[in-house]
Structure 1
Amino acid sequence: MASSPVAAGEEVYRVTTLELFFDLVFVFAVTQLSHVLVKELNPLGLLQVVLMFGVLWWMYAGYAWLTNTLAPTTAARRLLILVGMGGFFMVALATPTAFKGGGVLWGIGYLVLVLAHVTLYMQGNPNILRVLPANLLAAVLIISAGVLDHGAPVYVLWTLALIVPIVQPYIVPAGGLFTIQPAHIVERHGLLVMITIGESVIAVGAGAEHAHLDAGLVVAVLLGLALAAAVWWSYFARDDARAEESLTAADDVRRTQMTMFGYFYAHIPLIVGIIVAAAGMGQAVGHAWDHLHLGPALALAGGIALYLAGDVAFRRTMRIGASRIRLAAAVVALALTPLGLWSAVAEIAALVLLLTAALALEHVTTRPDAPAPGLGQSSGD
């Protein structure tokens, strides 16, 4: 299917206030995931967060693509979005105990999300029924895991619930189902990244809550805020606008592929990385002038490394700039983990310097007015 880019004068969907309202509930779910990781800052806790986030991310993306195709402008559509919000809220409430007795409620909430999504999507594209069985199966697998409650089979079922949606696009090609509105999809995911970065700010405040208020704590908090600001700068300085230009220039099939791989797959490590770093940040700020245990030190440095790796994949998919500098920064960020075992504040400061240096190096090696590589030149990678 060949198609020309978005035509001049064609209706452009922008993110509505209802979608932002929906995202507030998703933020609560993300916050719950962060809290789980803080309490279980170990490989098993990380696995739980990755599994829950992966499943949630699939359905969040489903709602983002839904409102990209069908704006929630009527009372019926708005009510169905609100029903979906209720499902998300059920999931969020069950998240802290999803692997300890709350799995059934988690699965039921996810089922509500699936049913509200397909009911609304059918109004714009009945072909969505082709992918409904996989989404229903994921909900059933999670409910079954909740019934089992504990043990290795629970993790197997959760893993299957994550894998089923991931393999689905290869069985049911997305190109025939979706027409992407570039401005909306870029804005929606950009706002989600912004909200997730906000979780880092909350983590900084939470980490400082029970610490003694002195000059040392102020320095640590400001460094934590600077790290969140550096992550913001790396994503929003130019890349979001360039991504919209690149998507707009693509035909329908290519645009759908870019959206799937750039905004679904690449944003998984990008957003999970911010969440993981926020969990480490909370503990690092609270013990800024002490050494960290391996878990928090690895969460802080590894989270930034994971974010950068996802950002590299995103930039390459969108063809919006060379990413060698950010890939190198990801490797260096992970290598900074031992520094936190000596001093938490030293690790935070080193990560701030690393991101600042990487962004500065990009600035001096790339002309600010250069066109996005996807709009007429090679990616440079």
Structure 2
Amino acid sequence: MRGDGTRLIATEDGHRVTPAELFFDLVFVYAITQVTALMAADPSGPRLLGAMVVLALLWWCWCCFSWLGNVVRADSGGLFSVLVAVMAAVFVVSLTVPEVYADRHGGLHAPLVFVLCYGTVRVLHLISYWIAGRGDAALIRTLRRTLVVSVLPPFALLLVGSALTGAAQVLVWFAAVLIDYAGIFLTGKSGWRIVSPVHFAERYALIVIIALGESIVAIGVGMADLPFSGPDLVAAVAGLLVSTSLWWVYFRHVTEAAEHALAAREGDERTRFARDAFTFLHLPLVAGIVLMALGLKQSLHQIADSHYPLSEPLHGLTAWALTGGVGLYLLAAAAILLRSTGRLPAVLAVGGLCSLAAGVLVALVPALLALVLLAVAVGALAVGYGRSARASGAAHAPAGAEPVEPVGPVDSVDPVGPVRRPTDPSGS
């Protein structure tokens, strides 16, 4: 495959994230923000499930091209044109998110637009992979199975659901997501390739950064157009400290362990690990951040709004989301470490379970106090886990693995990229 501007250009081991992929990720900043807004508009159990379904579908769009960008350069050849088309489709999907469950009349039917654009992304992904994988019989077989098992049946259900409203729409779409993910679990054991472990780990580290950034944005949005006061200052700093502690857990422990484990594996074993630790287990990690962002947004709004006394606690779903999102994040981080090292980090697992259960207590104490206590607790957990990991000598790398340079979200990006000779896109 030659770099003539139209063909796909294969990557090699050591390939790093490109500026084109960073640009691609910008669309998902807005998409994740829209999911938080979808929950905030109607903080209820059914809406929470519906928002998680939307997040799972958006996550699948992003994951498809994180895998493809690992075997084909995203900044050269025909893939960049595909990325631009996908960005347009995902951006339209993001625009429809606030109305995707609303029973409104007039204009375009938002659920149908959402489904058609989502289907376009999945089809473009499969076509691009098929072009890149010509000559790779195992990959072509996997692509066919994916189309039959994991793309067409869920897409049909999404189309059916787009004609429904309320709980029926949410349940049909939820079923489509379950079939899609189960299909990938069954068909994704072989055929796919991870050419560059460092690139793959960087891609997921960057999307975690994006999600954490959205949680910080939620703090500012919650305080928008309201007078700024001393309690607001305390609440904003406490919210930032919560996000910082979660960043510390992931980037000081989780991502390095996952990258070591990915680099230590080969062939289909590497494929299965990438599917489990990154594609599957990073979804609840990101979902936890989105839920926490909802809690932060509502907390800051309530603390800043003079109509609420400072003694007023959070209520309903938002009370649980504040700590429950942190709990889901910590449990996902513990699961990634377990899959990477074979050891369960008890501090993270216990902390995650306690955070999930703490939503009941949040509804009993003032919102500002709950936020400050959460910041203290999560900060102490991050420090305590770091010390326990060092004390036990847990480097989180598989036995005998060669050291791998830790992932860095900014300075690891090569804006130009080395000149590469054409290779087989399968990485073989």
Q: How does the TM-score come out when normalised to structure 2?
A: 0.81
CA change 1:59–1:136 in 2 (3 A) is farther
Contact 2:284 2:329 in 1 (8 A): yes
Contact 1:201 1:225 in 2 (8 A): yes
Percent of pairs with identical residues:
26
Counterpart-to-counterpart distance in 2, 1:316 and 1:72: 31
Do residues 107 (structure 1) and 115 (structure 2) align? yes
Q: AA paired with 1:92?
A: S
What does 1:286-305 align with in structure 2 at a 5 Å threshold? 286-288=301-303, 289=310, 290-305=312-327
RMSD of the TM alignment (CA)? 2.0
Do residues 212 (structure 1) and 235 (structure 2) align? no
- 3-state secondary structure, aligned to 1:46: helix
Runs (5+) with no aligned partner, structure 2: 1-11, 103-108, 135-139, 304-309, 402-428
Q: AA paired with 1:294?
A: G
* Aligned counterpart for 1:315 among listed residues 329, 337, 342: 337
Provide Cα deviations, 1:126-185, integer angstroms capped at 9, x if missing partner. 512331233233233222221x23144423320232022212134424322323421011
What does 1:261-272 align with in structure 2 at a 5 Å threshold? 261-272=276-287
Do residues 255 (structure 1) and 255 (structure 2) align? no
What does 1:53-64 align with in structure 2 at a 5 Å threshold? 53-64=55-66
Partner of 1:15: 17
Counterpart-to-counterpart distance in 2, 1:171 and 1:286: 44
Highest RCO, 1 vs 2 (Cα 8 Å, sep ≥ 6): 2
Counterpart-to-counterpart distance in 1, 2:198 and 2:49: 34
Counterpart-to-counterpart distance in 2, 1:171 and 1:223: 43
Partner of 2:346: 324
The structure where helix makes up a greater share of residues is 1
CA change 1:320–1:99 in 2 (3 A) is same
Partner of 1:187: 202
Contact 1:204 1:281 in 2 (8 A): yes
Do residues 276 (structure 1) and 291 (structure 2) align? yes
Counterpart-to-counterpart distance in 1, 2:244 and 2:40: 22
Contact 1:333 1:354 in 2 (8 A): no
Partner of 2:47: 45
Contact 2:319 2:359 in 1 (8 A): yes
* Aligned counterpart for 2:156 among listed residues 101, 120, 140: 140
Contact 1:223 1:352 in 2 (8 A): yes
CA change 1:338–1:371 in 2 (3 A) is closer
Contact 2:21 2:75 in 1 (8 A): no
CA change 1:263–1:215 in 2 (3 A) is same
* Aligned counterpart for 2:359 among listed residues 326, 333, 337: 337
Contact 1:270 1:308 in 2 (8 A): yes
Q: How does the TM-score come out when normalised to structure 1?
A: 0.91
* Aligned counterpart for 1:149 among listed residues 153, 164, 171: 164
- Report how far residue 221 of structure 1 moved: 0.6
Partner of 1:125: 133
Contact 1:122 1:129 in 2 (8 A): no
Q: AA paired with 1:325?
A: V
Number of residue pairs matched? Answer: 367
